[in-house]
Amino acid sequence: MESFWLCDDCLFGAAYEDYSTLSLYYSPDETEQRIAAIHRGLVRLLPISADFDPETGWGIRSFSPLPCDGCGSPLHGQRHRYTRL
């Protein structure tokens, strides 16, 4: 099985289809562009399933310098593992 590491923005998009926090960091135009990039990335990876445990921290990198495998964001930060079904 192939695994992918997704940023928090992609995590919330994949799990809840929730993009509300993006407006805290981006202008309205940038927010729409970011949502489109997340959506394109997730569609490209589908079907995927969460492969992490928030209780134990397994499958979670608290800080990663690598780009998100979903949207391609180069921003460093937390990553969660997903597996292609």
- Parallel/antiparallel/unpaired status of strands 3-6 and 48-50: unpaired
41: part of which helix (H) or strand (E)? Answer: helix 28-45
d(CA 67, CA 58): 19
CB atoms within 10 A of CB 5: 20
Mean pLDDT over 52-72 rounds to 96
Where do the DSSP E strands lie in the chain? 3-6, 48-50, 60-64, 77-84
Average pLDDT, the chain: 94
Query: Residue 1 pLDDT > 90, yes or no?
Result: no
Chain segment 24-57, per-residue pLDDT in tens:
999 999 999 999 999 999 999 999 999 999 999 9
Identity of the residue numbered 66: L
